[in-house]
Amino acid sequence: MRHAVALTLAAVLIAALARAGLAAGWQGPAVLGIGLLATAAAIAAMAGLSASDTLAARIATPALFGALLLWLWEMLVVGLHISQVLLPSPSAIAQAFTTHLPVLGADFRQTVLRAVVPGYILGCGAGFAVAIAIDRSPFLRRGLLPLGNLASAMPIVGIAPIMVMWFGFGWQSKAAVVVLMTFFPMLVNTTAGLAEAGTQEQDLMHSYAAGYGTTLRKLRLQAALPHIFTALKLNSTLALIGAVVAEFFGTPIVGMGFRISTEAARLNLGMVWAEITVAALAGSASFGAIALVERAVTFWHPSFRD
Amino acid sequence: MKTLLLAAAVAAGLAMPGVARANDKLTLQLKWVPQAQFAGYYVAQAKGFYKQQGLDVTIKPAGPDINPSQVIAAGGADVIVDWMPDALAAREKGVPLVNIAQVFQKSGLELTCRRDSGITSPANLKGKTLGVWFAGNEYPFFAWMAKLGYHTKGAHPDVKVLKQGFNVDPLLQKQAACISTMTYNEYWQLIEAGMKPAQLIVFKYQDEGVAMLEDGLYTLQKNLKNKAMVGKLARFLKASMQGWQYAINHQKQAVKIVMSNDTAGVLNVTHQARMMQEVAKLIPGGKHGLGYLQPSAYTRTVKILLASKTDPVITRKPVGAWTHKVWNAAFKH
């Protein structure tokens, strides 16, 4: 572990030296040599870290790998003089990020808080409710499930302009798109989950004279939770994609999709990537939060047992 | 058998008239989908003007989210049709575009409003919802708002701005009081959708003093350092302006040629005929002839762009953003 830490430090220092050398105008082969040395040190550090099983080591390995990729990106863009309008360097993106933090915050509020969250809650709620209805009534199962299938196959770039025409330019049309995107995965997963409860357990409930409602609440929904959480995690990423893409088709002048499309047209690629970073962070954070809740609630599931 | 083939090849070679060289290839990237806005180039191609100049021109159409300056930056074109504010912004961002010809001498951009929203003059715009195109077309609007003293951003803007798509639905559905239109395209889409001219009030950016130069031909600076390339561009310019003159004088034929280039099958003859008519009004203007960039018009555009304090399009005065080199090589002998 000590060796791994030392190697990490060495890798970081040599990498910084290579970047500084590039900025100072050192010769190509010299920078390349130093760069290869830094990469070798980083890889050796990661090998050492992956041997250890502590929490620190488990976090450090992917962090170091991510840092290595970012550094390689920076070196290639600056060293090969790639135009900033085609691919900006991570340093340019970081600069755009810090300079325009208020704008990014306003866009986050408009897209995530005002469109994604209501749409997600509505879409997942509707999917869940319809799944319970389908469970109750075989007639609905045969009628609604294929229609749900059809609804999910509609391409978002086709639905979004129609939603804008129906619901206007505000957050309502974006939330509508999110509802349509999250409805079907939730429906299908809940239906599959409700079939999970074992026959023996259901017989036991029957022997206790438990009605449909009690059996649903105390047995079948509990058994369905792993599937439901799968849908919730999937929907968190779909919802963000849906809201951002829907904003390409009509929006007030604030929002992540609006910012990405207009800044890309203005060749401010640094800002585009800053918005992408915000979207990635938001998506990962929501996915991670749902995963944590899932771990707490469905601790009994085999996938969480070591 | 081999002798026969060899003899046939020699005969074919001798039979060709003295072709000194194959036609020079050149790629033109348009600013939008094939339509009468670009009739001149399609006419030059169909009528063989490019061929006469020894050029083999590929015309690439664009569309939503295709930015000509990005295409040329990535090496996908030799010359592009673009609007000056977009080209100057690209130049500042590191894509060294240079104007080699100004095709549209007058601006066709306008803000069309519904009379029943209570708008009679720019003073009434306060508090209204206005649809604006982005992707390089928003600069005259924001310059005009700055001139009128209206704030467009923040929690309590003077006017509510919507990013409009490239259609006229927001006005028809009363989602916006005004929308961006071109004199040659979207205005007529409104009329064709059933609106009467009496129901609409139009503010032309040309009349409001914030008009900026629109369709022009741009290339990368490095192309202008190459003598052969300058020659190619000059021949291209000559044939293109010839195409435009022909299109203006034979509008019906020009529309037919444009329609034959409509691979998507979405163009409507009446709409294109009207577009050709309106575009023909924007092209002529200077005493020097078609395609000549008036330095005073360039300076005016730059002045308006630099004057916008909020959200400036360019922050420095551009240097070397235009040249008469190619135009002179084409037309001054």
B163 → closest Cβ in A83, A253, A268:
A253
Do A164 and B165 count as a contact with CB atoms less than 8 A apart? yes
Report CA A281 to chain centroid distance, whole Å. Answer: 7
> Distance (Å, rounded) from C-alpha A280 to C-alpha A48?
29
Output the pLDDT for position B311.
66
How far is Cα A221 from Cα B171, in angstroms, rounded to an integer? Answer: 49
Contact state of A253 with B153 under an 8 Å Cβ cutoff? yes
For A259, other C-beta atoms within 10 Å of its C-beta total 27
User: Closest Cα of chain A to B94: distance in Å?
Assistant: 7
- Check residue A118 and give its pLDDT: 96
Q: Does B328 touch chain A (CB under 8 A)?
A: no
**Stretch (H or E) spanning B169:** helix B169-172
- The 3-state DSSP class for residue B27 equals strand
Give the rounded percent of residues in chain A with a pLDDT score beyond 90.
55
Optimal mutation site among B138, B152, B162, B173, interface A, most CBs of chain A within 10 A: B162
Chains A and B form CB pairs within 8 A to the count of: 71
Question: If interface means Cβ-Cβ distance under 8 Å, which residues of chain A face chain B?
Answer: 83-86, 161, 164-165, 168-169, 248-253, 258, 261-262, 264-268
Contact A169 B170 (CB under 8 A): yes
* Identity of the residue in A86, A248, A252 whose CB atom sits nearest the CB atom of B73: A86
Mean pLDDT, chain A, integer: 90
Q: Does the distance separating the beta carbons of A264 and B162 come in below 8 Å?
A: no
* Residue B124 sits at the chain A interface (C-beta within 8 Å): no
Distance CA B5, CA A143 (A): 70
* Residue B172 near residue B190, CB atoms below 8 Å: yes
CA dist list (Å): A193 to A149, A204, A218, A219, A230:
17, 19, 14, 11, 10
Nearest to A252 among B162, B169, B173 (CB): B162
Q: Report which of A162, A167, A168, A183 is spatially closest to residue A119, judged by C-alpha positions.
A: A183
- With contact defined as beta carbons under 8 Å apart, do B73 and B313 qualify? no
Chain B residue whose CA is closest to A161: B165
Contacts of A218 (CB under 8 A, 6+ apart): A205, A210
Question: Residue B98: beta bridge partners?
Answer: B219
* CB of B152 less than 8 A from some CB of A: yes
- Residues B152/B142, Cβ–Cβ less than 8 Å: yes
Q: Which residue of B has its CA nearest to A102?
A: B154
The β-bridge partners of B132 are B163
Alpha carbons B90 and B86: distance in angstroms, whole number: 6
Check whether A156 has a pLDDT greater than 80.
yes
pLDDT digits (tens, 9 = 90+) for A13-65: 888 888 888 888 888 888 888 888 888 888 888 888 888 888 888 888 888 89
Find, in chain A, the residue whose alpha carbon is nearest to that of B86: A266
Each residue of A206-255: pLDDT tens digit?
Answer: 999 999 999 999 999 999 999 999 999 999 999 999 999 999 988 898 99
The answer to whether the CB atoms of B90 and A264 lie below 8 A apart is no
Report the gap between the CA of B161 and the closest CA in chain A (Å). Answer: 6
Between A187-201, A259-273, B2-16, B162-176, the lowest mean confidence (pLDDT) is in B2-16
On whether the pTM is more than 0.90, the answer is: no
Instruction: Give how far A168 is from chain B: nearest CA, Å.
Output: 7
A252 interaction partners in chain B (CB closer than 8 Å): 160-163
- Helix, strand, coil abundance in chain A, percent, nearest 5: 85, 0, 15
| Interatomic CA distance for residues B137 and B180, integer angstroms | 9
Distance CA A85, CA A64 (A): 28
φ/ψ of B26, rounded to 5, equals -150, 135
Q: Name the strands in the sheet holding B129-132, side by side, starting at the edge strand that comes first in the sequence.
A: A251-252, B160-163, B129-132, B178-182, B109-114, B200-204
The superfamily CATH assigns to domain A98-304 is MetI-like (1.10.3720.10)
**Cα–Cα–Cα angle for B289, B290, B296, rounded to 5 degrees:** 75
- Find residues 79-108 of chain B whose CB sits inside 8 Å of chain A: 89-90, 93-95
Q: Which range among A87-91, A149-153, B274-278 shows the weakest confidence by mean pLDDT?
A: A149-153
Is A253 in contact with B169 (Cβ distance < 8 A)? no
C-alpha distance from A305 to closest chain B C-alpha (Å): 49
User: In the predicted model, what is the mean pLDDT of residues A93-112?
Assistant: 94
Minimal CA separation from A302 to chain B, in Å: 48
Top residue of B97, B132, B163 to mutate, by most chain A CBs within 10 Å, is B163
A252/B160 CB distance under 8 A: yes
Chain B residues touching residue A87 (CB < 8 angstroms): none
As a whole number of Å, the end-to-end CA separation of chain A is 24
Q: What is the pLDDT of residue B16?
A: 54
Low-confidence ranges of chain B (pLDDT < 70): 5-21, 310-311, 333
